[in-house]
A and B are shown apart, each in its own frame.
Chain A
Amino acid sequence: MRIYLDNSATTRLDDDALAEMMPYFTEKFGNPSSLHAYGREALKAVDEARAEIASLIGAKASEIYFTSGGSESDNWALKGAIYASKAKHKHIVTTAIEHPAIIETCEYLEKKDGVSVSYVPVGKDGRVTPEAVIKAVTPDTTIVSVMFANNEMGAIQPIKEIGAFCREEGILFHTDAVQAMDSQAVDVNELNVDMLSMSAHKFHGPKGIGVLYIRSGVRIDRLIAGGHQERRGRAGTTDTPLIVGMAAALRKAVAHRDEVNARVAKLRDGFVARVLKEIPYVYLNGGMEHRLPNNANFSFGFIEGESILINLDLNGIAVSSGSACSSGSLEPSHVILALGVPEELAHSSIRFSLGRDTTEEEMEYTFKVLKESVEKLRSISPLFNMEKGTGSYV
């Protein structure tokens, strides 16, 4: 049995989306920039996909810019805004829990361009408060960037409130909505966002395609120079099949959103309750109230996350870990640490991200294997006494 509980890493490509993509790999292979019939039929598909994606987020087609994915969209939004600004002092307000595509771009701009950056901390529930974000804004603030929902512990951020403030103050507001598109209603006007990043493969679309929504009137520099594609915003041959697949996947995700959310949340809630009740020394990372319906993230005391991950994997279950060892760095997840979780427990964190195809049987089996894995690893942990059933870090 193989069980996929890593849907925040990537999702299975939707069969209908694949079917819609296929002709554009082969018989309709034309370059949408070409003037001839081959080009025109490809351009028609791109135009339709652009219009459809726009309408699904309450935007205009002319505000949709195709990119290679979430990371490029995030890089472009921040670098583009900073490089377009003529101000002497530039300042970014973001959060401590952003995706590395935002954090490392901020660090780059700090180092290379002397931009100052404020990283707003989060509470135990994994959320920033609008007040804390507003307080971090200065007269030099060029752009505010707050993720819609966190990829590791699923905390949904108060985007609408922050957006309303930024709109009022006339400050650019970007949100990385990569993890939110599958399950959250996204309307760029209701949210008052100026820019929004998304990535198709997080909602059963193909890998290698994303969007940066840029509100009309917002001017940012381009990152990729070369051609006139994307209204001179982003050079590079337009990837017709991926764009078609992205639109098809988003259409389906939006159409089934409420029903999928309800089903997934029920499975997730049952799993969380059971893990907390039946496995000792387990801690849920992040709060339950404002959380993506498919996310569960725990720390398991006295054992290390990567070894739990590998043990689950050897039993056919795919998950992620925030341990240093699973990332190749020496530091555990910055997101789990930002919650105030001690380092030793951050090393023990495991993310379960359910999907629309997850079943009750799968979660039942996962719980059983998880419980056994935790017991097995604790039996060889120097921090845990199996006879007494207690552990200590001291």
Chain B
Amino acid sequence: MYNDKVLQVFQNPKNAGEIEDANGVGTIGNASCGDIMKIYLKIVDDVIVDAKFKTFGCAAAIATASVATDMVIGKSVEDALKIKNADVVAFLGGLPPQKIHCSVLAEEAIHAAVEDYRSRASK
């Protein structure tokens, strides 16, 4: 089912946790559907200097959150939004077809976090 890379990332996820002074936070999903993805971003001069996640979800959701947060750190907000779920899945060497649904959550939560950052900035 899962390949070794996915299992390895799931077992030792990077960037798990919260950012206390995050200025962009996005949450996607709900517990009754079995998935919640929460992404915290710390953005300075439109560059993502830190990203963390918290996940209620399956191994695919946790592994993609780890990879996606790692990918956006150091990128400009604009570049970060260009990262597609397919890039994350490719980095993991693929996911079982029924898991693609779970893997989209990270991308969506990053977008929601950026939206949150932008709406805070415009105030």
Contacts and interface: CB of A to CB of B under 8 A. Distances in A.
A binds B: yes
B31 A347 contact: yes
A170 interface: no
Contact of B35 (A302, A304, A310, A328): A304
Contact of B34 (A304, A379, A383): A304
Interface string A367-386: 00000000000011111000
Interface in B1-24: 2, 7, 10-11, 13, 16-17
Contacts of B64: none
A302 B55 CA distance: 10
A380 B17 contact: yes
A81 to B, nearest CB: 34
A347 B57 CA distance: 9
A330 interface: yes
A304 B58 contact: yes
B102 interface: yes
B75 interface: no
B21 to A, nearest CB: 17
Given A310-B10, A381-B54, A383-B56, A325 B62 contact: no
Contacts of A323: 34, 58
Report the contact-size class of chain B (Cβ under 8 Å from the partner): 20 to 34
B32 A343 contact: yes
B6 to A, nearest CB: 9
B56 A381 contact: yes
A342 B10 contact: no
Contacts of B53: 380
B23 to A, nearest CB: 18
Considering residues A330, A344, A380, A393, which has the most beta carbons from chain B within 10 angstroms of its beta carbon? A380
A353 to B, nearest CB: 20
Interface of B: 2, 7, 10-11, 13, 16-17, 27, 31-36, 38, 53-62, 98-99, 101-102
Interface of A: 302-304, 306-307, 310-311, 314, 323-326, 328, 330, 332, 342-344, 347, 379-383, 393
